C-alpha cells in the first residue's frame, strides 16, 4: 500500500493543551519507519497549518469553532485528495474534532466511487454531542454527530456534502456517555458496543459482526482510534482517561482482524497528548497497534470464522 501520513496538530477541540504535539510524538515513536519496514510506501505530507476560519461567527457553545472548522476544511480536502490518488490516508492527531474533516473527506470519496462509507469508532466516548447538548462545549465531543448530519450549527463544510448514515457507524469500547447524548445515539440508530457488550460478547465476535456487515455492503471502512479507548494503565497520554478501558490484547485483536479483512480505507490516530504521557508509552502503543493493522503479525494464520 501507499500510505499518506497527514499531521493534524489540533488541540482546540479539546478542553486542554497538548494534543497539538501528537503528530510529532507519533513520528518520534517511528510511525513512518515501522510502516515502511512492513513493505509499505509511506508519504509524509507533513502537518496541516490552517488559518482560523474567520468567515464563521464565534459560537458560545462550540469552543474554538474557527480553528476546529479550519482543520475540518483542511482535512476534508487533503484526505479526499489522498484517497482519490490511491493513497491510504493516515491522520496523525490531534484531538478528535479532526474527524469532522477526515470522515467528511472519505464520505465524499466513497460517494464518488459509489460505495457506502462505514466508520469504526474506537473510543471511551460516543462523541455524538452538538452545541445544544454538550455539557462542555468542546468540539472533540461532537464529530460523530457532525458527519452524520446532526450538529449543523455553522457552515463548516458545504451543506451538500455527503453524510454518513448513523447506522453505518460502529462504536466499540464506549463507557462514558452524556445524558442527552445517550438519547441521541439511540434515536439515530448508531451501533454501540459498550464495555458491557465487549465483556459479555467478546471482542472477536463483535469484530466479526462489524467486518461481515461492511463486506456484505461492499463498503469502505474508516477507523477512528481515540487513545482513551485503551485502559489508562497502558495508555495514560490522553486528556480524558476513563477507567475500564480496552486491553492491549483486545486492541491488538481488533487490528489484526481489520488487517485480515482488507476493508480499511483510512485511519485516524487521535487524542494523544504527549504532555500527559509516560515517557512515550502511549505513542509507542499506537505505533505498535498501527503496525498490526498494516500487516505485522505474530504468526501467519487464517482468521477463524465466527
Catalytic residue set: 96, 123, 125, 127, 140, 226, 228, 271
Q: Give the nearest distance from C-beta 96 to ligand DIR in angstroms.
A: 6
Cβ atoms of 72 and 59 within 8 Å: the answer is no
For helices 281-293 and 248-261, give the axis angle rounded to 10 degrees: 30
Cell of 53: 476560519
Sequence-separated (6 or more) residues with CB below 8 Å from residue 159:
152
Burial of 158 (0-12, 13-18, 19+ CB in 10 A): exposed
Sequence-separated (6 or more) residues with CB below 8 Å from residue 182:
126
Q: How far apart are CA 3 and CA 223, in angstroms?
A: 14
129 binding ligand DIR? (CB under 6 A):
yes
* CA-wise closest residue to 290 among 175, 124, 122, 173: 122
62 beta partners: 59
Q: Give the nearest distance from C-beta 36 to ligand DIR in angstroms.
A: 31
Q: Give the nearest distance from C-beta 140 to ligand DIR in angstroms.
A: 5
Q: Give the nearest distance from C-beta 303 to ligand DIR in angstroms.
A: 31
Instruction: Spell out, one character per residue from 69 to 98, where the chain touches ligand DIR: x when CB under 6 A holds, - when not.
Output: ---------------------------x--
Cβ atoms of 272 and 237 within 8 Å: the answer is yes
Between residue 95 and residue 124, which ones bind ligand DIR under the rule CB under 6 A? 96
Nearer to Mn ion, 42 or 190 (CB): 190
134 binding ligand DIR? (CB under 6 A):
yes
Between residue 224 and residue 243, which ones bind ligand DIR under the rule CB under 6 A? 228, 240
Instruction: Spell out, one character per residue from 96 to 125, where the chain touches Mn ion: x when CB under 5 A holds, - when not.
Output: x--------------------------xxx
Cα 44 to the center of its chain, rounded Å: 19
Q: Give the nearest distance from C-beta 287 to ligand DIR in angstroms.
A: 21
Contact range with ligand DIR by CB under 6 A, out of 98-106, 133-141, 167-175, 200-208: 133-141
Which residues in this chain contact ligand DIR in the complex, by CB under 6 A? Answer: 96, 125, 127, 129, 134, 136, 138, 140-141, 178, 228, 240, 271
Amino acid at each position: 500500500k501507499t500510505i499518506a501520513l497527514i499531521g493534524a496538530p489540533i488541540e482546540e477541540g479539546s478542553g486542554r493543551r497538548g494534543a497539538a504535539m501528537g503528530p510529532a510524538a507519533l513520528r518520534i515513536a517511528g510511525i513512518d519507519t515501522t510502516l515502511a519496514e512492513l513493505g509499505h510506501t509511506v508519504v509524509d505530507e507533513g502537518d496541516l497549518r490552517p488559518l482560523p476560519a474567520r468567515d464563521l461567527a464565534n459560537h458560545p457553545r462550540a469552543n474554538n469553532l474557527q480553528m476546529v472548522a479550519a482543520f475540518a476544511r483542511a482535512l476534508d480536502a487533503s484526505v479526499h485528495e489522498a484517497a482519490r490518488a490511491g493513497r491510504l490516508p493516515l491522520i496523525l492527531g490531534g484531538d478528535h474534532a479532526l474527524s469532522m474533516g477526515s470522515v467528511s473527506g472519505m464520505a465524499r470519496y466513497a460517494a464518488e466511487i459509489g460505495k457506502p462509507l462505514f466508520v469504526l469508532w474506537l473510543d471511551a466516548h460516543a462523541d455524538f454531542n452538538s452545541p445544544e447538548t454538550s455539557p462542555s462545549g468542546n468540539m472533540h465531543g461532537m464529530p460523530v454527530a457532525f458527519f452524520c448530519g446532526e450538529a449543523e450549527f455553522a457552515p463548516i463544510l458545504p451543506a451538500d456534502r455527503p453524510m454518513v448514515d448513523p447506522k453505518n457507524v460502529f462504536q466499540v469500547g464506549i463507557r462514558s456517555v452524556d445524558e442527552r447524548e445517550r438519547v441521541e445515539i439511540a434515536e439515530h440508530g448508531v451501533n454501540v458496543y459498550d464495555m458491557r457488550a465487549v465483556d459479555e460478547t467478546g471482542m472477536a465476535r463483535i469484530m466479526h459482526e462489524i467486518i461481515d456487515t461492511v463486506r456484505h455492503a461492499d463498503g469502505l471502512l474508516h477507523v477512528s482510534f481515540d487513545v482513551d479507548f485503551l485502559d489508562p494503565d497502558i495508555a495514560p497520554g490522553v486528556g480524558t482517561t476513563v477507567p475500564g478501558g480496552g486491553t492491549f490484547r483486545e486492541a491488538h485483536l481488533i487490528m489484526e482482524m481489520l488487517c485480515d479483512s482488507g476493508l480499511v480505507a483510512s485511519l485516524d490516530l487521535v487524542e494523544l497528548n504527549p504532555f500527559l504521557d509516560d515517557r512515550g508509552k502511549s505513542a509507542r502503543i499506537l505505533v505498535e497497534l498501527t503496525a498490526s493493522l498494516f500487516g505485522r503479525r505474530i504468526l501467519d494464520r487464517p482468521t477463524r470464522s465466527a
